[in-house]
Chains A and B, each alone.
Chain A
Amino acid sequence: MLSMTNLSKVFRTELVETHALRDFSLHVDEGEFVSVTGPSGSGKTTFLNIAGLLETYTSGDYTLDGQNVFTLNDRQRSRLRNEKIGFIFQSFNLIPDLNLYDNVDVPLRYRGMTAGDRHQRICDSLEQVGLANRMKHLPAQLSGGQQQRVAIARALAGDPRFLLADEPTGNLDSQMAASVMGLLQDINQQGTTIVMVTHDPELARQTQRNVYVKDGRVCDEAAPVQLATVNE
């Protein structure tokens, strides 16, 4: 599904070169739920940006769903993001002036789907996260946990091959975090590959595999851990 080999990312200014990722190698199989942890500045977000085609990389190989992404232009990268990747952000990134329905609709419109198809998908995905009855509400009228559920619905609506979650519970209290984590596990169990960046070891333990990143390198690729359930 996702294969990075000896990937490096260098940020250059006139005075200094910063190696955000060095010889970064990671392989994620279809259906896996992988967490990426590490201290601040370790390169987690850079990894996430590159994995999600939000940024380019300096050298190495990155294959997403069998496609080498290095040579893709901006339009092709946008299309790949839209069709294959679902994003879940730490601060939800919902559009405040749009109601839940229109928020979930955003990526579907960029795919050029018909209104009928979009409507069905929006309703289904909001149903899946338990917010179908609030689709006309604005994000500000929801709790943080509910907003993150909307963001998950938005990510799921496009039926992506894998989800990239950036600290998905970072802005939530423990109860809401558990609820969101449970939802992600449900989604994973339905076959969606998930890669989650987090600083929380407790969340990482609930995934199938944890990848520890330090100084831009994968330091420890832990053995699969037993999948924890929300109730545990």
Chain B
Amino acid sequence: MTHNWETGPILRAMSRNKVGALLIALQIAITMTIIINAIFIIVERSALMGRESGVDEANTFYLTSTGFGSAFNASSVIDEDLRRLRGTPGVVDAVQINAIPISGGGWSMSLKTETGADIDGIGTANYFVDEHGVDALDLQVIAGENFTASDVRLRGRNQSDWPPVAMITRALAENLFPDTNYADVVGKTVYIGNDEPVTVTGIIDKLQAPWIGWDRLEHAMLTPEKMDFSSTRYLIRTEPGQRDRLMAEVETALADAYPNRIIRDVDTLTATRERSYRRHSAMITILTAVMVLLCTITALGIVGLTSFNVSRRRKQIGTRRALGATKPAIIRYFMLENLMICTLGIVLGSALTVGLNMALVQWFNQTALDWFYIPAGIGVLILIGQLAVLGPALRAAQTPPALATRTV
């Protein structure tokens, strides 16, 4: 005995009663188009949000200190503050820094491997730190060495020249010298600003720039500088679990130590990340809600159409049962009918999905869809369709065969 799938009769019957089936197929096509592109965008955004900054975000906070009054001596206050911060129990290390990674605001420069106005440079974020920067940011020096105290120079507010040494990230090293192993970049000279030579003394494994949407996000350069600015920022790394307690304690201690200043913008790297990626997470939330809504509406549409068909065909189902259809055969009939409607929707949906993605690529700089999203979307839609039809199909299978002999 062979299983006879009623593909032909179902198709012919549907072709004579096509409006409902076509509407559901269209709904499936639209749902598929939107959910595949939405999932693709969600995966992309999630991947962006999952990128590591290179900093010990969970245990790091920062604050801004702004001194005022003619007696304010920035250099000595900064030295005193850093001594106090580094000596505070629970603090791993602290550093004065000009910008916070992934915060949205900072400095950038262009580096070149050769001098000359016609040579294009490669953009990089620039962080001013002293020899404590590596430890405070929890960076890994994978080649060369960290700054020493003697490398650190004082940078004035309007100073535009650069110190002779710098550390750069591995990604930047590999972009500057694509044919050289990153470790061999140590000792090489790069040119900054007005063709000023800077020697690379160390390579850092990873440190992101402040701008999360920048295509050079992994490009960062550390220069050994202490900023003689009245308004400055400190970045403090704590021992695990001490951050929140120390935020309040440090704020009070610094304010008490030198009253002629304002301590503000005390914030964590965790909150900074959340703020920077808020647009992405909002987009993910909205797209997820739209997907759930669309899938629910599509499933309800299928449930509605199948329930209507089951009610309309009760006598017919009873007759089929009388003629020898088993309960599984009745279930199989409705599942197969739904599968055929889904298939029509999926074929249409695949074309629409590719079309929409091409439009997104062309008009919104979206990345081209990976091929495997389409079979994955097909699988999801078929699963939704089959699950949605299961309830009405099971109800149909309960139709008694004796219904065939009833005249009403």
Show the binding face of A for B, using Cβ within 8 Å: 45, 48-49, 52-55, 74-75, 78-79, 81-83, 87, 89-91, 93, 95, 97-99, 102, 105-107, 109-114, 138, 154, 158, 166
Interface status of B400 (Cβ within 8 A of chain A): yes
In angstroms, how far is the closest chain B Cβ from the Cβ of A232? Answer: 30
Interface status of B3 (Cβ within 8 A of chain A): yes
Interface status of B326 (Cβ within 8 A of chain A): yes
Chain A residues with CB under 8 A of B327: 74-75
Docked-complex contact B404 and A89, CB < 8 angstroms? yes
Interchain Cβ contacts under 8 Å between A and B, 11 examples:
A48-B405, A54-B402, A55-B400, A55-B402, A89-B319, A98-B9, A98-B12, A102-B8, A102-B9, A107-B324, A154-B323
Instruction: Indicate the size class of the contact surface on chain B.
Output: 20 to 34
In angstroms, how far is the closest chain B Cβ from the Cβ of A208? Answer: 23
Chain A residues with CB under 8 A of B319: 89, 93, 95
Chain A residues with CB under 8 A of B316: 93, 95
Chain B residues with CB under 8 A of A74: 326-327
Given A49-B405, A91-B407, CB of A81 within 8 Å of CB of B324 = yes
* The 8 nearest A-B residue pairs measured at CB: A82-B324, A112-B1, A97-B13, A109-B4, A110-B324, A107-B323, A54-B402, A93-B319
Interface status of B243 (Cβ within 8 A of chain A): no
Given A97-B17, A98-B13, A102-B9, CB of A90 within 8 Å of CB of B322 = no
Docked-complex contact A89 and B401, CB < 8 angstroms? no
Interface centre among B8, B17, B316 (most CB of A within 10 A): B316
In angstroms, how far is the closest chain A Cβ from the Cβ of B332? Answer: 11
A107 to B316, CA, bound (A): 13
Chain A residues with CB under 8 A of B320: 106, 110
**Given pairs A54-B322, A75-B327, 20 additional interface contacts (CB within 8 A):** A45-B405, A54-B401, A54-B402, A55-B401, A78-B321, A81-B322, A82-B323, A83-B324, A93-B315, A95-B13, A97-B17, A98-B9, A98-B12, A99-B12, A102-B13, A109-B4, A109-B6, A109-B9, A110-B324, A154-B323
Docked-complex contact B402 and A49, CB < 8 angstroms? yes
Chain B residues with CB under 8 A of A52: 322, 405
Docked-complex contact A97 and B401, CB < 8 angstroms? no
Q: Which of B9, B325, B402, B404 contacts A105 (CB 8 A)?
A: B9
Q: Which residue of B lies closest to A52 (CB)?
A: B322
In angstroms, how far is the closest chain B Cβ from the Cβ of A164? Answer: 9
Q: List which B386-408 residues lie within 8 A (CB) of chain A.
A: 400-402, 404-405, 407
Docked-complex contact B325 and A78, CB < 8 angstroms? yes
Q: Which residue of A lies closest to B320 (CB)?
A: A106
Docked-complex contact A87 and B13, CB < 8 angstroms? no
In angstroms, how far is the closest chain A Cβ from the Cβ of B52? Answer: 59
Docked-complex contact A89 and B405, CB < 8 angstroms? yes
Interface centre among B2, B316, B323, B400 (most CB of A within 10 A): B323
Q: Which residue of B lies closest to A77 (CB)?
A: B401
Docked-complex contact B17 and A78, CB < 8 angstroms? no
| SS class, residues of chain B in contact with chain A | helix
Show the binding face of B for A, using Cβ within 8 Å: 1-4, 6, 8-9, 12-13, 16-17, 315-316, 319-327, 329, 400-402, 404-405, 407
Chain B residues with CB under 8 A of A81: 322-324, 401
In angstroms, how far is the closest chain A Cβ from the Cβ of B249? Answer: 75
A166 to B321, CA, bound (A): 16
A107 to B321, CA, bound (A): 9
Docked-complex contact A102 and B12, CB < 8 angstroms? yes
Q: Which residue of A lies closest to B406 (CB)?
A: A45
Q: Which residue of B lies closest to A92 (CB)?
A: B319
A55 to B316, CA, bound (A): 17
Q: Which residue of A lies closest to B316 (CB)?
A: A95
Chain B residues with CB under 8 A of A109: 4, 6, 9
Q: Which of A106, A112, A113 contacts B323 (CB 8 A)?
A: A106
Q: Which of B2, B12, B325 contacts A114 (CB 8 A)?
A: B2
Chain B residues with CB under 8 A of A91: 407
In angstroms, how far is the closest chain A Cβ from the Cβ of B55? Answer: 66
Chain A residues with CB under 8 A of B315: 93
In angstroms, how far is the closest chain A Cβ from the Cβ of B125? Answer: 68
In angstroms, how far is the closest chain A Cβ from the Cβ of B340? Answer: 14
Chain B residues with CB under 8 A of A75: 326-327
A79 to B402, CA, bound (A): 15
In angstroms, how far is the closest chain B Cβ from the Cβ of A103? Answer: 9
A166 to B404, CA, bound (A): 10
Q: Which residue of A lies closest to B313 (CB)?
A: A95
Q: Which of B4, B16, B400, B405 contacts A97 (CB 8 A)?
A: B16
Q: Which residue of B lies closest to A55 (CB)?
A: B402
A79 to B319, CA, bound (A): 14
Docked-complex contact A93 and B404, CB < 8 angstroms? yes
Chain A residues with CB under 8 A of B9: 98, 102, 105-106, 109
In angstroms, how far is the closest chain A Cβ from the Cβ of B403? Answer: 8
A102 to B13, CA, bound (A): 10
A225 to B3, CA, bound (A): 45
Q: Which residue of B lies closest to A53 (CB)?
A: B401
